[in-house]
Amino acid sequence: MVKRIAILFAILLICCLAILGYFFQRGRKILFTDPYKTISLRACIVIETVDLQSFMNSLTTGKGLFGEIGKVSEFDSFNRKVKFLADQFNKPGFKKLLGDGSSLISLFPAQDGTLQPLLSLTVSGEVRTRQIKELLHSSGIKEVSERKLNGSQVIMIPFIVNTRPDTVYLSLLSGLMICSTSEKLIEEARAQTGGENDIRKQPGFSRVLLAAGKNEDKIFIVFNNLTNLFNSFLKVPGSGLAEMISRLAGTAGGDIYINEDGIVLSGYTDCKDSSDYLYRYKSLTPSEFHTYKILPSSTVLFETLILPPDKQLNISDTSVSKAVAGLADKLKEYLGEEITKAYIDIKERPVGDNTLIILELANRVEAEKIFLEELGPAKEIIYFAPDDQSIIPVYKTSFRGLIKVIMPGLSPGFDDTYYAFYDNYIISGSSYATISRLLYDNILNKTLANDLVYRDFESTLPSRAGYFFYCVPSRILDYLAGFLNDDIIKGLRQNKLSLNKIQAAGFQFVSSNGMIYNSLSVKFKEEAREESTTEWETLLDTIAAIKPFFFTNHTTGAKEIFIQDIKNNTYLINAAGRVLWKVPLKERINGSIYMVDYFRNGKLQLLFSGKDYLHLLDRNGNYVQRYPVKLRSPATNSISLFDYDNNRNYRLFIAGEDKLIYSYDKTGNVVKGWTPFRTSGKVMSDIVYFKVSGKDFLVACDETSVYFLDRSGKKRINLKEPVTKARGSAIRLSAGSDPFLVCTAPDGMVQQIYFDGSVRKFSLMKASIDHSFDFFDVDGDGFGEYVFIENGMLYLYDHNKTEIFTRKFELSHLGGPVSISFSASDRKIGVFDIDNKLIYLIGKNGETMNGFPLRGASMFSIGKLSDKSGWHLIVGGTDRFLYNYKIETEAK
């Protein structure tokens, strides 16, 4: 029987969080232990602390992992007891009582599967039972009694936790104080001190103890004493899994490091018996693993281990066909060093379908050649093709049992029907969906290697190992439900919010000094880990710097996404999320992007500007001739493009630092007949264009004035009174029999500017200079509404100047408002919470739309990626990914 290490350590990692609450809820124990000479061979867990007071305080700070445990109702009994003890140890009387030596907390398995605790600590030799009783009385504990136990005094302290009565037994012997909730353990501990076989006689215990840190808190696990404990956790007690855990090794130990970010245990495991499952890892050369680089970031559990150097196959397994055994034998020499079992979190799919086995290949070409030859001409192939340029074959085969021959015991019951080759790996799965998920996420570079949470966690463990296990506890409950009993799973599900704060847990070991050096890490963050709701996420070099732009593929008609990151790389990304090209630019794109038909042949290009240049890129990411074009003056605003007569004779307008407004044609030449218009101040907002009553109006705004120009750059209107546009205000046209433009002044005053030069002003609310304003039809009634954002509040007024709603957000730094129109009657207001990196869609009555808020770290765009795909929101994230959300427009 070979290792089922993923199951074993998944249980160890998750159950370490469930054990305490599960048993403490029964009121059966308190975390106590005693010195080594009082600990019998029966103990399964021993904790040594060099400073009991500090150790207890670290568990009761209310912060970090143990602070979160304190919020879980199942742990209430445990926390009350630990907090009571910590409070006592912090009292001056108890400080005098405690000696300078180490204190031990040992846990003993009971027949019913619970744990019984024993605390042992050194005390001054002058301490007597009378002094202990006086100290207890002075601490407020009045009900204290004592009696003889085999000729020795034992103090009994009754207490009640959650209405359940219990008793702590305390006894002194030769400079030691022992206490427990079990009278039998007190009796056993006293008898144990006269014997020779204490816990250090367990296989490997003394050696592991000597290798532990001298001034660190430590934990030791005696595996052969764990059987009853783990049988009580299992869905099917006596199934053999608990026995396998008890035969992992002799003893494991580790130094304990607790902080607000979690807990790390690092130390040694000793295996003296060749029948121990971890015995062979004592001689394996550690390696730097590679397979995680292709695992999707949705991987919630994986284990990677080194293949044995001799790569012995289980070809005698009669449950597999001779053809499968023969294929395994032929592939043997082309296998690499590692094999990985991974569980992918794919929603609404059976647990059994979400597992992959990945074999590293030393020679993919030869391995794939042999595989296809054995598969034969009648092979069944499903092509994974997320777009017209990415096609990867996935083979449905009769090679069931191939993995079992190559690595017996790795994944019992695994259905290795589907296979695919990717990079230097052969990937096997029980479903096409799981293999295609791995392939797709690799196309998007959405792998663990690029996942910030995983990379942060990985930094807590050594870089080289012989075995590596990783999991996200809150997302493997369905997987664990196949092994753990219903009470454990129910408790974990009920505390999913707390479990979500455990970002990751992992275990790693390497051979060292004739033993195994192991590291276990549990990463905690107060901010719970969120599950992604995106349809896909595509990795950029750095975070997105601009609002995404929907570009049309003139060949297929499909939509693509144009984006720039903060290093000024631009990307074109197709509807499947694959990066078609990446082109670095000299500068940051400033504002608006346009789709133009430069050659008037139906082929489309991307036009935009930065501070110093006009840019025009074709669909392949190449500059059109003459571009980039140097601007006459560094720009103070974004380019505006107008096609007056819809004949693709484009006119480009942009304002310079020299306070002149320039007009360029599509080739980048200054337009003849245009006289650069000089403004009083700098024009920071886009120049806009309106055609009213057959006349053209170009409108520009600086810090003090609004200018109406004709096509030649001459003033068309002189306003009858001063108008100043607020920097956060849009300027919009209200059409009708008497059309006018709408914008706000810096103080929030609404200004209606008519095309005869007259101006009407009115106030809807008091606003600061930092307010934002827009005017658009929110309710679909044909009339525009006035939309304000001011100091963390969203305000909506109808065309009759009546307030419709006021909506408060958590913080004051908001982007928007953005007009979103899904149909003539379905319109929304978009708001970006810049501080919390959240996006909201707000309906006409102030309600938040279904599925919102969504995570995002840039301004967003909403559109359709295809005629059939529905609506999608595209936004950059804080983790270098571009997010694609499929959105619902109905209200909650």
Q: Tokens 């397994």 identify what position?
A: 317
How far from 618 is each of 571, 582, 661, 691, CA to CA, in Å? Answer: 12, 13, 27, 30
**Region 360-377: what's the mean pLDDT?**
93
How far is it, in rounded angstroms, from Cα 330 to Cα 366?
Answer: 10
Model pLDDT for residues 341-352, shown as the tens digit of each residue: 999 988 878 888
**pLDDT tens digits, one per residue of 641-660:** 999 999 999 999 999 999 99
pLDDT band for position 99 (50/70/90)?
A: low
Within 10 angstroms of residue 380's Cβ, the number of other Cβ atoms is 11
Residue 306 pLDDT exceeds 50: yes
Identify whether the C-beta of residue 588 lies closer than 8 Å to the C-beta of residue 569. no
- 274-283 pLDDT, tens per residue? 888 888 888 8
Of 365, 367, 361, nearest to 338 (Cα)?
361
The DSSP H or E segment spanning 865 is none
DSSP letter for 352, please: G
Q: Which of 498, 477, 460 is nearest to 66 (CA)?
A: 498
The string over 18-54, giving b where at least 16 C-beta atoms fall within 10 Å of a residue's C-beta and e elsewhere, is: bbbbbbbbebbbbbbbbbbbbbbbbbbbbbbbbbbbe
Write down the pLDDT at residue 822: 92
Rounded to 10 degrees, what is the CA torsion of 130, 131, 132, 136?
100
Q: Residue 54: what pLDDT?
A: 80
Q: Measured between alpha carbons, how far is residue 599 from residues 229, 561, 581, 663 in Å?
A: 76, 22, 22, 20
755-801 pLDDT per residue, tens: 999 999 999 999 999 999 999 999 999 999 999 999 999 999 999 99
Distance of CA 683 to the CA centre of its chain: 42
**Beta-carbon contacts of residue 777 (< 8 Å; ≥ 6 apart):** 783, 784, 785, 827
Categorize the per-residue pLDDT at 85 as very low, low, confident or very high, splitting at 50, 70 and 90.
Answer: low
Best CA proximity match to 337, nearest among 293, 277, 287, 280: 287
Measure the CA angle with vertex 161, ends 159 and 167; round to 5°. Answer: 30
Helices (H), 98-141: 129-138
Angle, alpha carbons 52-132-39 (nearest 5°): 50
Give the neighbor-by-neighbor strand order of the sheet with 861-864: 536-539, 881-886, 871-876, 861-864
Mean pLDDT of the chain: 87
Q: Among 132-141, 244-253, 676-685, which stretch is predicted with the lowest mean pLDDT?
A: 132-141
pTM of the model: 0.82
Q: In what order do the strands lie in the sheet with 706-709?
A: 688-692, 695-701, 706-709, 715-717
Mean pLDDT of 846-852: 91
The mean-pLDDT minimum among 126-135, 174-183, 647-656, 869-878 falls in 126-135
**Residues 808-833, mean pLDDT to the nearest whole number:** 90
User: Confidence band (pLDDT; 50, 70, 90) for 818?
Assistant: very high
Which is more confidently placed, 616 or 278? 616
More confident residue, 96 or 201: 201
* Of 332, 289, 286, nearest in space to 426 by CA: 332
Q: By percentage, how much of the chain surpasses pLDDT 70?
A: 90
Assess whether pLDDT exceeds 90 at residue 360.
yes
Q: Distance between CA atoms of 288 and 279, rounded to whole angstroms? A: 21
CA–CA distance from 312 to each of 290, 325, 329, 406, 688 (Å)? 22, 12, 9, 8, 74
Mean pLDDT, to the nearest integer, of 619-639? 96
Instruction: Residue 357: name the closest of 369, 341, 345 by CA.
Output: 341
Share of the chain above pLDDT 90, in %: 56
Q: Comparing 130 with 678, which gets the higher pLDDT?
A: 678
Q: Count of alpha carbons within 13 Å of 848, Cβ hemisphere only?
A: 13
Of 297, 547, 299, nearest to 444 (Cα)? 297
* Nearest residue to 658 via CA among 675, 629, 683: 683
Rounded (5°) CA angle 655-657-660? 45
- Higher pLDDT, residue 431 or 73: 431
The pLDDT value given to residue 819: 95
Question: How high is the pLDDT of residue 456?
Answer: 87
Instruction: Indicate the pLDDT class of residue 28, thresholds 50, 70 and 90.
Output: very low
> How many CB atoms neighbour CB 122 within 10 A?
18
264's tokens: 């790390």
Helix (H, G, I), strand (E, B) or coil at 712: coil
Q: What letter would DSSP give residue 432?
A: H
Of 112-116, 229-233, 581-585, give the range with the top mean pLDDT.
581-585
Q: Is residue 628 reached through a cis peptide bond, with omega within 30 degrees of 0 on the bond before it? A: yes
Q: What is the pLDDT of residue 716?
A: 94
Query: Nearest-CA neighbor of 809 among 784, 824, 791?
Result: 791
Dist. CA 803–CA 795, nearest whole Å? 8
Q: Please state, in angstroms and as integers, the Cα–Cα distance from residue 1 to each residue in 12, 98, 410, 846, following that order.
A: 20, 48, 10, 63
Helix (H, G, I), strand (E, B) or coil at 5: helix
pLDDT value at residue 406: 87
Q: Given a cut of 60, is residue 216 above it in pLDDT?
A: yes
User: For 154-182, what is the mean pLDDT?
Assistant: 81
